[in-house]
Amino acid sequence: MHLKSLTLKGFKSFASATTLRLEPGITCVVGPNGSGKSNVVDAISWVLGEQGAKALRGGKMEDVIFAGTSGRAPLGRAEVTLTIDNSDGALPIEYSEVSITRRMFRDGAGEYEINGSACRLLDIQELLSDSGIGREMHVIVGQGQLDSVLQSRPEDRRAYIEEAAGVLKHRKRKEKALRK
C-alpha cells in the first residue's frame, strides 16, 4: 500500500486543480518559503478527517478554502482527493485503488466520499484504522512534534504505542460500548 496521488482544488493556496503523483519510496517536495509545501501536508491531514483548524495552521476551518489573491477571486469550496494504491489488499475493501475525497463549502457544510460514493468520516476512519494512517495522525510528524513525544508523560506515550499497535481502536470501541 502506498499513497498514489493527491489532488487539491481550492485548498489553501492551490486555487486551480493540482495533482501530485507519488511513487513508492520517498517523495520530496521542495520550493521557496511560502510556496505551499506545508499546505500539501495539511491537505493530507484534512482529507483524512482532521477537525481542528489549529492543526491545519488556521484560525477557523473555513481558512482551508482558497481566500483569493490580488489577481484571483476567493473560491467557495475546497476539495482534496487522496488516492491510495491498495493492490496488496492492505485496506479491507475490494478495490485495488481507493480514493478518499473531502469537500467543504463556505457555509461549513462538508462531505466525504470513498471511490466517488458519499460516506461518513467514520467509514473512512474504519477503513484506515489498521493501516497506520488516519485518525490521530501520528504518521504526520510536524515540526517540534518529535520533542513532544520524547517529553510526553508515560500515559501519553503509551497511547502512541497503542495506536501504532492497533490497540487504540478496540479501546475506543470498548469505551463507547461501556457508555451505552
Tell me the C-alpha to C-alpha distance, in Å, between residue 18 and each of 12, 80, 123. Answer: 12, 10, 26
Among positions 26, 28, 30, 33, the unique one binding ligand ATP when judged by CB under 6 A:
33
Q: Which grid cell sits at 42?
A: 495539511
Among positions 25, 28, 30, 34, the unique one binding ligand ATP when judged by CB under 6 A:
34
Residues 40-69 that bind ligand ATP (CB under 6 A): 63, 65-67
Among positions 5, 13, 38, 99, the unique one binding Mg ion when judged by CB under 5 A:
38
Distance CA 65, CA 11 (A): 5
How many Å is the Cα radius of gyration of the chain?
17
The entry of ligand ATP, Mg ion, none near residue 39 (CB within 5 to 8 angstroms by kind) is ligand ATP
Angle subtended by helix axes 168-179 and 154-165, to nearest 10: 100
Among positions 35, 115, 145, 152, the unique one binding ligand ATP when judged by CB under 6 A:
35
Size of the site for ligand ATP (CB under 6 A): 14
Considering the rule CB under 5 A, would residue 13 count as an interface residue with Mg ion?
Answer: no
Return the range that interacts with ligand ATP (CB under 6 A); candidates 17-25, 37-45, 46-54, 146-154. 37-45
Among positions 5, 38, 99, 125, the unique one binding ligand ATP when judged by CB under 6 A:
38
Distance CA 160, CA 39 (A): 25
Q: Which grid cell sits at 111?
A: 462531505
Distance CA 157, CA 137 (A): 14
Considering the rule CB under 6 A, would residue 138 count as an interface residue with ligand ATP?
Answer: no
